[in-house]
Amino acid sequence: MYGTTLIPTGGSDAAFAAVDDAVEVTAPDGTVHVLGVVEDLPTYERSGAPGRADNDGEEQRLRLEAAVGRIETEVTAAGLDCETRIAEGVPSREIVTFADEVGADAIVMGTRSAADAAGDLLGSTTERVLRDASTTVVSVPATA
Which pLDDT tens digit goes with each residue over 66-113?
999 999 999 999 999 999 999 999 999 999 999 999 999 999 998 865
Is the predicted pLDDT of residue 43 greater than 90, yes or no?
Answer: no
Q: Identify the pLDDT of residue 47.
A: 54
The pTM (predicted TM-score) of the whole model is 0.84
Q: Which long-range contacts (CB under 8 A, 24 or more apart) does 69-75 make?
A: 70/16, 71/7, 71/9, 71/15, 71/16, 71/19, 71/34, 72/34, 74/19, 74/23, 75/7, 75/19, 75/22, 75/23, 75/32, 75/34
| pLDDT, average across residues 48-75 | 80
